[in-house]
Amino acid sequence: MGNQANPAFAVGAVVVPIAALVYAVQFGTIQHHTYVHVMAGVLWTGIDLFMAIVLGPVLGSLSVSERSSVFERFTPKMTFLMPTLALVTIFGGITLAMRMGIFSHAQPWIALFSTVAVIPALLLIGHQFNAFRDRRWQALFAIVAVAHIAYLATTLPEFALTRPSIMLALAIVTVLTVLGFGVLMPGEARIYLESVSANPDQNVISRYGMRNAKLSAVQGVFQLAIIVVMVYIRWGGF
């Protein structure tokens, strides 16, 4: 997939945002941290809205073969770029809230968020690839589930309510995480696997591509909602 995405693009799309986040968290000021978080979020939201509002309708007017051709070239780049932007935005936002002292009782809430986001996402991945009977998936799911449940159990005694706006933000981010990593990313993988198969089915590529474009609209709505919540967190005191 890296070759189809262009190796330089694939490396840059992953390394640059993550390096910026590491610098901001470990060495940067709160202003640097805020910039990285906001810029990753702007790119993540903007690309999703562009796909839903502009690219989706354009592709919808093309023939199946034409749509398939676009998705075969477009999807590998998105597979490297979008998950990275999502992770940097989410992790950057959580660490920034902790750094600013507005995320009280953070560890139990992070454990809860991680558990209710990662486990459903992994179940959706297994469902889409019919992997529930695959022992490799079963082993991976067992390890992830046990680790998250243990993390949640160890932090549960410290559980207490945090700010309502933080709870709302975590709820929205949970939906975005499950949808992005549990549905959109597996769809991109299906497009790639179909495109490199011996006899690619253009209908399959087109169907998954258009599904992802439509789901980007759902992502965009939730991302706009969380922007409103972020404003209240920063300036509204909610």
- Mapping DSSP onto H, E and C, the string for 155-207 reads HHHHCCCCCHHHHHHHHHHHHHHHHHHHHHHHHHHHHHHHHCCCCCCHHHHHH
Give me the number of domains the chain comprises. 1
In a domain, 217, yes or no: yes
Which of 119-133, 162-176, 197-211 is predicted least confidently?
Answer: 197-211
Cβ-based neighbour number of residue 236 at 10 Å = 11
In a domain, 77, yes or no: yes
CB pairs under 8 A, 24+ apart, for 66-69? 67/205, 67/206, 67/209, 67/210, 68/200, 68/202, 68/203, 68/205, 68/206, 68/209
In a domain, 143, yes or no: no
DSSP state of 236: I
In a domain, 118, yes or no: no
Distance CA(26)–CA(35), nearest Å, equals 14
- Give yes or no for residue 237 having a pLDDT over 70: no
Mean pLDDT in residue range 175-199: 89
10 Å CB burial of residue 27 (0-12, 13-18, 19+) is: exposed
pLDDT at 40: 94
In a domain, 137, yes or no: no
- Give yes or no for residue 231 having a pLDDT over 90: no
In a domain, 224, yes or no: yes
Distance CA(231)–CA(238), nearest Å, equals 10
In a domain, 136, yes or no: no
Mean pLDDT in residue range 200-211: 88
Q: Which comes out higher in pLDDT, residue 235 or 80?
A: 80
Percent of the chain at pLDDT > 70 equals: 97
Range of the domain at 93: 2-104+162-236
Global pTM? Answer: 0.89
In a domain, 177, yes or no: yes
